[in-house]
Amino acid sequence: MHAHTRVIGALALLVSIALGCADRGDGDASSSPTTLTPTRTVWLSPLRSSTAGASKPSDRRLRFAVISDSNDRYGSQAQGIGVESAITTITQRILPAFVIHNGDLIAGQSRRLSRRRVEMMWRGYHDAVTIPLANRGIPLFPVPGNHDASPNDRLPDRGLYEEQWLEPAHRPRWPLFDPYRYPFSYSFIAANTLLVVLDAPTGRLSRGDLAWLRVTLGASKSFDRVLVFAHVPFAPYLERSYGTLRPARPILRILARRHAHLFTGHYEIFFDGHFANLRTTSTGQLSHTCRVPIGGSICQGMSFLVVDLDAERAPRLAITALRGPRFESRFDPYALPLELGSYWRSPTLPHDLRGMLEEPPLGFDLSTLGLD
């Protein structure tokens, strides 16, 4: 009787596994254990043990999360309306190896805000984001944004940003590959992937950082892939422009030459596609702001990213955008428009962008895309 019970149990397990594999949808089943659908709740299964913080840079397979633009209104000590739910999902369900916050951690960049007020905003951020992640052993990597690390010398923002992330209690407990100018520009390694953070909070990358990026990516051939994180993208995702990554031509050439993958924020829109022949992913927001993509008619809403890395299947990676406010379902990537402003979902390179990747003379007027 007990033997039959064991056989039945084993068969049931095999059937459940088969059904689970069949239910993965149109995503990359080999890279993403479970694919979420917009119509129901399906949790991503952990890639490792349920003990957060157990991952190491040498792991061949891991998962991380990318959040962005969590700030609320100017001067608000509280975080955006979606932050609590997103962090709860991350710490209780996703259990990533680490989290990257791709800019606009707080709502600064205003002369009306005193240093004391900005310090209070940082305290609110750490209470809502840094500490809950740290309590679960999940490192947090910051990316400078225009609302938290503005280069405007008349504001206390940039100095306070540096102070916050040099504080031992806030520094990510993960070795840096090249600290360079941490917490502004730096790099680290995970699953034989080089992850590079750029200091371009308002879009402009300095000559020094451009040279550092060129050398860093030029010496990255031993890695399976390169992921680059910058707050501001190459071109707008909204009808109105709020700044772009500059100088565009040299940055694009450096990234494209290494087949890097660029992650950005700032426009608070989720879109996974290509700019020229460069793979780019824009991260959504965790706040209340209504953002209507170019050519759209309704607010996209809140979201954050879950990224699966697998060194055995390099250079492939799986990206899932979880939709707010409860973050229990995903954006269907095939429901995204084929074209969004200067971005395309397909890797096919449009004719009028081919010149951007050629050596000078380009034969293309970059001003038509708002680039320099």
**What DSSP letter does each residue of 255-295 carry, written as one string?**
HHHTT-EEEE-SS---EEEEETTEEEEE--BSSS-----TT
Task: Quote the pLDDT of residue 16.
Answer: 33
Q: State the pLDDT at residue 52.
A: 56
Structure confidence at residue 340 (pLDDT): 95
Q: What is the pLDDT of residue 57?
A: 87
Report, as an integer, the average pLDDT of 332-341: 88
Q: What is the pLDDT of residue 40?
A: 32
352 is a domain residue: yes
206 belongs to a structural domain: yes
* Residue range 296-304: mean pLDDT, rounded: 94
* Confidence band, pLDDT 50/70/90 cuts, at residue 354: very low
Q: Is residue 35 part of a domain?
A: no
Confidence label for 44 from pLDDT (cuts 50, 70 and 90): low
| 119-160 confidence digits (pLDDT tens) | 999 999 999 999 999 999 999 999 999 999 999 999 999 999
Phi/psi of residue 16, nearest 5 degrees: -65, -35
Query: What is the tens place of the pLDDT at every residue in 1-33?
Result: 444 333 333 333 332 333 233 332 223 322 332
Asked whether residue 221 is domain-assigned, the answer is yes
**306 versus 45: which is more confidently predicted?**
306
Is residue 175 scored above 90 in pLDDT? yes
Q: 347: pLDDT confidence band, cut at 50, 70 and 90?
A: low
Q: Which two tokens stand for residue 278?
A: 């460069």
Show the domain range for 219: 58-369
Q: What is the pLDDT of residue 297?
A: 92
Q: Is residue 38 scored above 60 in pLDDT?
A: no
Mean pLDDT over each residue of the chain, to the nearest integer = 82
Q: What pLDDT sits at residue 332?
A: 86
Q: Is residue 235 part of a domain?
A: yes
Q: How far apart are CA 121 and CA 148, in angstroms?
A: 10
How much of the chain, in percent, has pLDDT values that exceed 70?
78
148 to each of 30, 85, 356, how far by Cα in Å? Answer: 38, 22, 31
Q: 335 or 244: which carries more pLDDT confidence?
A: 244
For 369, which DSSP code?
G
Residue 72 lies in a domain: yes
Considering its fold, how many domains does the chain have in total? 1
Phi then psi for residue 327, to 5 deg, are 60, 45
Confidence band (pLDDT; 50, 70, 90) for 75?
Answer: confident
Residue 164 lies in a domain: yes
Residue-level pLDDT at 82: 96
- Determine the pLDDT at residue 262: 98
Asked if the model's pLDDT at residue 115 lies above 60, the reply is yes
Name which residue leads in pLDDT, 21 or 181.
181
Which amino acid makes up residue 170?
A: H
Q: Is residue 90 part of a domain?
A: yes
Position 73 scores a pLDDT of 81
The CATH number for 303's domain is 3.60.21.10
The pLDDT of 222-236, averaged and rounded, is 97
- Outline where DSSP puts E strands in the chain: 61-67, 99-101, 140-142, 176-181, 185-190, 193-197, 225-229, 261-264, 271-275, 278-282, 303-310, 317-323, 329-330, 339-340, 343-344
Give the 3-state secondary structure of residue 203. Answer: coil
Is residue 36 pLDDT above 60, yes or no? no
User: Looking at the predicted structure, is the pLDDT value of residue 110 above 70?
Assistant: yes
- Residue 11 Cα to chain centre, angstroms: 40
**Residue 24: CB partners within 8 Å, gap ≥ 6?**
32, 33, 34, 35
pLDDT band of residue 48 (cuts 50, 70, 90) is very low
> Which residues contact residue 348 at a Cβ distance below 8 angstroms, ignoring those fewer than 6 apart?
none
